[in-house]
Amino acid sequence: MRKPTQFTYQPVEIDLIADHKGRVAICVDDEGRMDVSGRRVNRLTKGAVARLIESPKFEAMKQGQVFSLNLPAGMAADAVDVVRLSRRAKIDDARAAGASLAKLRGNADLMLVAGNAKYAAQIAFGLAMRDYSFVDHKTASETAKGAVTVVCGKPDEVAASAAPLMAVAEGAFMTRDLINEPANILTTTEFANRLVEMENIGLKVQVLDEEELATLGMGALLCVGQGSDAPSKVVVMEWNGGNSGDAPLALVGKGVVFDTGGISIKPAAGMEDMTMDMGGAGVVAGTMRTLALRGAKANVVGLVGLVENMPSGNAVRPGDVVTSMKGDTVEVINTDAEGRLVLCDVMWYAQERFKPVGMIDLATLTGAIVVGLGHENAGVFSNNDPLCNAFLRAASAEGEGAWRMPLGQAYDDLLKSRIADMKNIGGRAGGSITAAQFLKRFVKDDCPWIHLDIAGVASVKSETTLAPTGATGWGVMALNRLVSDMLEA
């Protein structure tokens, strides 16, 4: 998988700045003040930085914005990138500044002269997150990214602060790689193999095959994949970094590696985007990687249901009735409402086996949530206010959009079936809510639970602050923060 940019941290050595080839970035506060290294760059450029600060261009710059002075006189650098960043700047501004530097540098070597900048580690994190591209299937070789050196007053402290952030970046990169990967490469077997590889960073990984799933009674999950040649699987990843005996937090992800809609087949236009229908499983995988890499002092279990939804002579049909692991029967009205059938069995298994302190499921579940919230926010549904509020705070702190949606009996009533315990859809109106209500039926009364519908945020058609077009890695930062706040505080 793709690894984030490697950073080196070193103390300020004024003489090295003049000789650096590539790009040099400095920070200037709102009042136009520079530290000693910034003043050195200003002298080298014969006052060019000061002239920028005194110009209307600097006045118009927003927090975290960067202005480039190209081919500066007196320096070997190709450009000096001037970052406007208040000493009271928000973390989001520092990360945005780093992301801007990543875009400007391309593949060039970069020296970030952070001096005593408060958020040097956050600038580095933003740079690392935006320094991503997915080019695995391009025949032209990719030019290697240049080195990044952070020059700062206390390099050891900045490096220590940056280390857990880089673990988050690596987890997000894994999520992006998985979501961007085409379905002929990322089969259910390949997905499972990539998760098993995380045993080398300390996770305990178990793969359940179709025979084991049938023995467990996962008829809902198995019906989704029965039309495909790809075998259905459930992968369990355990991170036991907390106290022995403490119940874990359970993260459950929908992993439909490709979704044709099955017999209720989707329109051809846009179906190629359904390679991202395993986004929930991708976020769970990336989060588990982050927790292991940073050595989280918490117990967390990640479970993903991996299937492919294909039409064939053996595919589940509209009108079929299947039996879930819980024992409830489901009338399959629409085979394109398959994600909830996968999740319900994995969620029940998670509760039966691990008795979790709480459970969060993630899925690119409904187009309805995109209609309601667009691509700015994931839909958040929950049966527990404290857990939900803790997640919303974590998501807000990390700049990942999330909005709480309602649940209610009237929506649940729409799932009534004439011939089974429930239908798998409740009609067009309130589609994301009835999907959540379906899942809620598989949550035990004593289990705090959140359902995250990430259909609008997992992969997007235009770049975001910290990610290029395509997979965003949404959720890794927020879930990592939630684990830290809730289980490690």
What six digits make up the tokens of 158?
């900045």
* CB-CB contact of 332 with 341 (8 Å): yes
Active site residue 353: no
**363, 388 Cβ separation under 8 angstroms:** no
CB 450 within 8 A of CB 391: yes
Q: 62 an active-site residue?
A: no
Among candidate residues 402, 478, 409, the one with its CA nearest the CA of residue 441? 409
The Cβ of residue 46 has, within 10 Å, a number of other Cβ atoms equal to 12
Count the Cβ atoms, other than its own, within 10 Å of residue 184: 10
Structure tokens at 108: 């060039």
Q: Kindly name the residue from 266, 393, 404, 444 that is annotated as catalytic.
A: 266
User: Among 340, 423, 441, 481, which one carries the catalytic annotation?
Assistant: 340
CA angle, 173 then 345 then 174, to 5°: 5
Nearest-angstrom CA–CA distance, 332 and 342? 13
Residues 6+ apart with CB under 8 A from 453: 363, 364, 365, 366, 369, 378, 379, 381, 405, 432, 435, 436
Locus of tokens 């190209």 = 70
* Whole-angstrom distance, CA of residue 69 vs CA of residue 307: 51
Whether 254 contacts 488, CB under 8 Å: no
Residues belonging to the active site = 266, 340
